[in-house]
Amino acid sequence: MVGSPLTAAGLTNWDVRTHARSETGYTLAELLLVVAMVAIMAFIAVPFMLSYMPSATVNYAARELQSGMNRAKLTAVTTRQLICIKANGGGYEFWTGVSAGCAGGAVLPQTGTNAAGTFTLGNSVSVALVTTNPVFTQFGTAVQAGQLRVTGVGGIQQTVTVQASGRVTIP
C-alpha cells in the first residue's frame, strides 16, 4: 500500500481496523442481553406487585380509618360532647348527642363526608363493626371501646381498635 492515502497519513491497515472498532455504540448482542435481563426482572417483579397491591390498599384504608377515629376523638374534645363512630355501608360516620352506649343522636357532618355525613374509603374497601361502636368522651378517652374491620378486594382484612384509654391502634 505504498502511495496510498493511509500511508501518506502515517496509518497502516491495522490502525484503520482498530480505529473502526473504537466507534461508540452497542452491538446487537449487548442490546439483546440487556433486554433479556429487563424481561427476567419484570417476570419476577410482576407477581410480587400483584400480591402486594391488595394488602397495601387495605393497609392504607385501615390507616385512613385510624386517622378518622383520631379525628373523632379530637372532635369530642373540642366540642365537649360524646362522639360515636358507626360503620355505615362501606364507610363510617360520626354521631353526636349519643348516650354512652352510642344510642340516639344524629350524624355529625364533617369536611370530607358525602351529603349523608358518611366518610367513604376508596378502592372498593368496606368498613364493618366487629365488637361495639367506639364512643369518645370530652376528655379523649373512650367510654365504650370498640373495633371496626376494614375489608378489601379478595377478603383481605385489617382491624382498627379503640382502647378504653382512647388510643386507636391497628394490631
pLDDT of 14 strictly over 90: no
Question: Residue 171 has what DSSP assignment?
Answer: -
pLDDT of 7 strictly over 70: no
For the stretch 68-113, pLDDT in tens is 999 999 999 999 999 999 998 789 999 999 999 999 999 999 898 9
CB 160 within 8 A of CB 150: yes
Domain extents in the chain = 40-169
CB 92 within 8 A of CB 76: no
Residue with more model confidence, 50 or 138: 138
User: What whole-number distance in Å separates Cα of residue 105 and Cα of residue 107?
Assistant: 7
CATH code of 40-169, in short, is 3.55.40.10
What is the pTM for the complete model shown? 0.75
Mean pLDDT of the region 18-32:
79
Half-sphere exposure of 44 (CA within 13 A, CB side): 5
